[in-house]
Amino acid sequence: MIKLLKKLTQSDGVSGDEESVGNIIAGEIKKYCDEISFDAMGNLIAHKKGGKKRVMFAAHMDEIGIIVKYIDDAGFIRFGAVGGLAVKELVGRRVRFKNGTVGVIGCEEEEFSKKADIDKLYVDTGVRDINKMPVSVGDRAVFEGDYTENKTSIISKALDDRVGCYILIEALKKIKKNKNDLYFVFTVQEEVGIRGAKTSAYAIDPDYAVSIDVTDTGDTPSAPKMAVKMGGGAAIKVMDRSILCDSGVRNLMCDTAKKNNIPYQLEIMTDGGTDAGAIHLTRSGVKTGGISVPSRYIHSPSEMVSKSDVEACEELVVKLAESF
């Protein structure tokens, strides 16, 4: 179980550059579905044929990162954000480019202490000779963040949303007979504006959809009040900034969880959206819900989830795929 999640999180797939993650997933799932394809955007779409109703499950493959904007004569790299970055937390972090080059984020100290502005930060690879610079304008990098686990929890970069990809992969392996026509979609470019979900949902034209992603928790010492806690089970989404979930889908999720003794909790996330936000607005609208893995330190190199929550989400997806 955990070996695959480690492989997924440690693979690099900054938004728009998800290919290597997609190839790992394609290799894992091809035995378990009838058709598998990549669309023009890079979304990986797995189809498991079944009855009349089309049900789409989605998890995003991309992760946040940075993009090189400008390199000065001394080799200091200025960069922009790819996805939502907490600028004041970036100093000292390591970034890794596609060719393996590692750099550290430094800052113009006095300026940065006055205002946490991304323009006051730079990436330093240690290379001062501009002719030997191993990266160029337009190159993207991810934040390094090793995978580690203990008895109850997992810590890594990119658990947002490789843990969702992992859950869909494992669910797909377990679904034996399906009365519905199932589409498991591994989407691109969620972190830059839920873009891959938009085109894939248009192509599939589903009757029902469910996105799998991470959500915040309210269980750290000074966290804003929120009913979700780590270890409390699968979070069934009621709302986030991108969607008010279909109440029929939400009730079906709760009933399915109850019937199968799957621990669950209800999620209202006031920051951030998910693929569900794009999917439910497709064509004339799609009845859409969300299942979330409670996660701390989202968008840091040390995102944290609970193993029992991952299992609960996985089981809920398996049962739900049969329930529509």
Given 62, 161, 240, 315, the residue binding Zn ion (CB under 5 A): 161
Interface characters, 180-219, with Zn ion (x: CB under 5 A): ---------------------------------x------
Total binding residues for Zn ion by CB under 5 A? 3
For Zn ion, which stretch binds (CB under 5 A), given 152-160, 173-181, 203-211, 250-258? Answer: 152-160
Q: What 8-state DSSP symbol labels residue 89?
A: G
CB of 125 to Zn ion, least distance (A): 28
Q: Is 18 in the site for Co ion (CB under 5 A)?
A: no
- Cβ proximity of 189 and 62 under 8 Å: yes
CB of 51 to Zn ion, least distance (A): 30
Q: What angle do CA 239, 242, 244 make, to 5 degrees?
A: 35
Is there a catalytic annotation at residue 190? Answer: yes
For Co ion, which stretch binds (CB under 5 A), given 7-15, 156-164, 170-178, 280-288? Answer: 156-164
322 forms beta bridges with none
Q: Which is nearer to Co ion, 160 or 216 (CB)?
A: 160
Find, among 267, 262, 319, 315, the residue nearest to 295 by Cα. 267
Residue 213 interacts with, from Co ion, Zn ion, none (CB under 5-8 Å by kind): Zn ion
Q: Is 315 in the site for Co ion (CB under 5 A)?
A: no
Q: Which is nearer to Zn ion, 64 or 90 (CB)?
A: 64
**β-strand pairing of 287-296 with 94-97:** unpaired
> Does a cis peptide bond (omega within 30 degrees of 0) precede residue 161?
yes
CB of 214 to Zn ion, least distance (A): 6
Which segments of the chain does DSSP mark as H helices, in order?
Answer: 2-10, 19-29, 109-114, 159-174, 196-204, 247-259, 275-279, 307-321
| Amino acid at position 274, single letter | T
Given 12, 28, 160, 246, the residue binding Zn ion (CB under 5 A): 160
Find, among 126, 82, 119, the residue nearest to 104 by Cα. 126
Q: Which is nearer to Co ion, 82 or 121 (CB)?
A: 82
Q: Give CA–CA dist 78/93, Å, rounded.
A: 15
- Cβ proximity of 258 and 316 under 8 Å: no
Give the DSSP per-residue string, 164-198. HHHHHHHHHHH----SSEEEEEEES--TTTS-HHH
For 254, the 3-state DSSP assignment is: helix
Q: Is 139 in the site for Zn ion (CB under 5 A)?
A: no
Interface characters, 242-281, with Co ion (x: CB under 5 A): ----------------------------------------
Given 160, 170, 303, 315, the residue binding Co ion (CB under 5 A): 160
Closest residue to Zn ion in the complex (CB): 161
Q: Known catalytic residues?
A: 190
Positions in the binding site for Co ion (CB under 5 A) = 160
Contact residues toward Zn ion (CB under 5 A) are 160-161, 213
